[in-house]
Structure 1
Amino acid sequence: MIFACDLDQTLIYSRRSMGPMEESELVPVEKYEGEDLSFMTRTAYARLRELSREIDFVPTTTRIYEQYERIHGLTGDIRIRYAIVSNGGRVLVDGRTDAQWDGMIRQAVRSGAASGEEAKALFDRLADASWVLKERYCDELFYAVVVNREEIPGGWMEELAGELARMGWNCSLQGRKVYLVPDPVSKGAAVRYVKELAGASFVFAAGDSLLDESMLRVADEAMAPGHGELFRNYAGKDERGIRFAGRSGILASEDILEAAANCRKEAGHTR
């Protein structure tokens, strides 16, 4: 069994995103420039540690490799053989880039989508420079653009999505970042690939955003927190097989890990 799980605002949380929580119940899992940035609850951390010994836990994140490496809490006690970073653009096996997947995904992008320059030019044409703060071209695959979210006009994301779709790209608004992603780069495609690598027969997946939806659709069981893009889009209702946690914020991670553990026990799934 594979447990493919998004990280930010699904499994790990910043102080801004976690909601009310006693400090004594938190485990720091990410540090940057001497500051603790992300946390898990003690309960969630203990459940993940136990679960990773029984099945393949696969961190699946839009973060690039260097940002993923900052999460020190996913080393040591947590067993990880496979990881997916760059929104599916890179697969790691024992911490190293899988060359076969790297070649496959870059060829798919070249042949199946407009260039990054064309997608960014479209964004620049539709956006107002006054609320665009900075941008990053990640792994030469997709863009992450930091914006003043409050200043984005109503309906603007829908307009952007419609225009990008004609170019073989999609978009997502998460926190203060707008992501522009070519269609071949997806968590779902990467999860299918890792499933084959691991020889697994079952996938439990969890995530909170539209960028996670592709992996939830390829999973045998799928779950989302009681917050985020998916929760807002589907009004918290079970939508085409996605189960929603009963809680939001950092406590949703406990619900997700409990559901993954119960799934393993009920079906008898192991590695």
Structure 2
Amino acid sequence: MNTLIATDLDRTMIYSKAALKAAPTNAPLRVVELTKEKPVSHMTVAAAELLHELALRTPLIPTTTRTIAQFKRIHMPGEPWRYAITSNGGNILVDGSPDEEWRAGVDAATRAAGASLDEVAAELRSRISDTWADKFRIADDMFCYLVVRLDRLPADFLPQWGLWCSENGWAASQQGRKIYAMPATICKSFAVAEVRRRLVDEGVLESGAKVLAAGDGALDAEMLVAADAGIRPRHGELEALDWQHPTVRVTDASGVAAGEEIVRWFVEHSATS
């Protein structure tokens, strides 16, 4: 095989009820995630069918900032996955189980690069107020994030928090109501490169195989740039930043229709490559 596909999930491949309301569609939908037996995330039926066909012939790697537990709630066409990337690249799952050697290397790099998770969490807690921060979470003992009320979020919080993070070996990013603090050493592109190397060693991919990628957030930007070609939806954090790159296409559609457009783009470009 001569193509590897790495794709972000939330607001790239799958869409919550809030995301559906932001860009309504009349297309038939398929539920791909349930929480307490209630639908949480969706794809168009056409996208789900195309993704199933694509995953049969092309290595496809779900690549998400979700924790392992959050990722395992998703049941997307193409599973079970030989490889999946969670925790923004901090974990590589092999047949559903975290690769301990990869995780150990990530933890060692984080310790060497700057502040510890405990230090970052303590600093972040000292800067927030329950008048605008609804939740504070530690994710997979790797990074932390807030869920905030956007209408009450102080305008200077993210710039100031981002500056502190950058001075201490971390990075800050906002995706919708979530504000992340992520070690600079954890990146989706590093994990994608490792999975590609393993698939070449296993004989699944040709040595010159190309990487196609998709994502909507700032945490996806490096993965998009590192890929041979990429695509991002016309919504999300990168759209708000008007982020552009010569090898990254922007969809015509927004919302869940953009997710379907991305799958069609993968099908076209994996066939031609």
TM-score (norm 1): 0.92
Q: Is 1:21 matched with 2:25?
A: yes
Deviations 1:55-93 (A, max 9, x none): 11100011111111111234xx54521100111110011
- Aligned residue for 2:125? 124
Aligned residue for 2:150? Answer: 149
Which segment drifts farther, 91-100 or 238-247?
A: 238-247
Q: Which amino acid aligns with 1:3?
A: I
* Counterpart code for 1:224: R
Question: Counterpart in 1 of 2:210?
Answer: 202
1:32 aligned to 35, 47, 50, which one? 35
What is the Cα deviation at residue 123 of structure 1? 2.3
TM-score, normalised with respect to structure 2:
0.91
Q: Which residue of 1 aligns with 2:13?
A: 11
Identity, in percent, stands at: 35
For structure 2, the 5+ residue unaligned runs are none
Q: Give, in angstroms, the shift of residue 240 of structure 1.
A: 4.2
Is 1:71 aligned to residue 74 of structure 2? yes
Shift of 1:234: 1.6
Residues 113-262 of structure 1 mapped to structure 2, 5 A cutoff: 113-199=114-200, 200=205, 201-234=209-242, 238-262=244-268
CA RMSD of aligned residues (A): 1.6
Q: How many residues align?
A: 262
Distance 1:192 1:14 in 2: 29
**Structure 2: distance between partners of 1:94 and 1:109:** 25
Aligned-partner Cα distance in 1 for 2:67–2:133: 21
What is the CA distance between 1:153 and its match in structure 2? 2.3
Gap regions ≥5 residues in structure 1: none
Q: Is the 8 A contact 2:216 2:235 kept in 1?
A: yes
Q: 1:263 aligns with which of 241, 266, 269?
A: 269
Paired residues of 2:80 and 2:95 also in contact (CA < 8 A): no
Instruction: Please give the alpha-carbon distance, in whole angstroms, between the structure 1 residues aligned to 2:183 and 2:38.
Output: 33
User: How far apart, in 2, do the equivalents of 1:241 and 1:265 lie?
Assistant: 18
Shift of residue 166, structure 1, vs aligned partner = 0.5
Shift of 1:54: 1.1
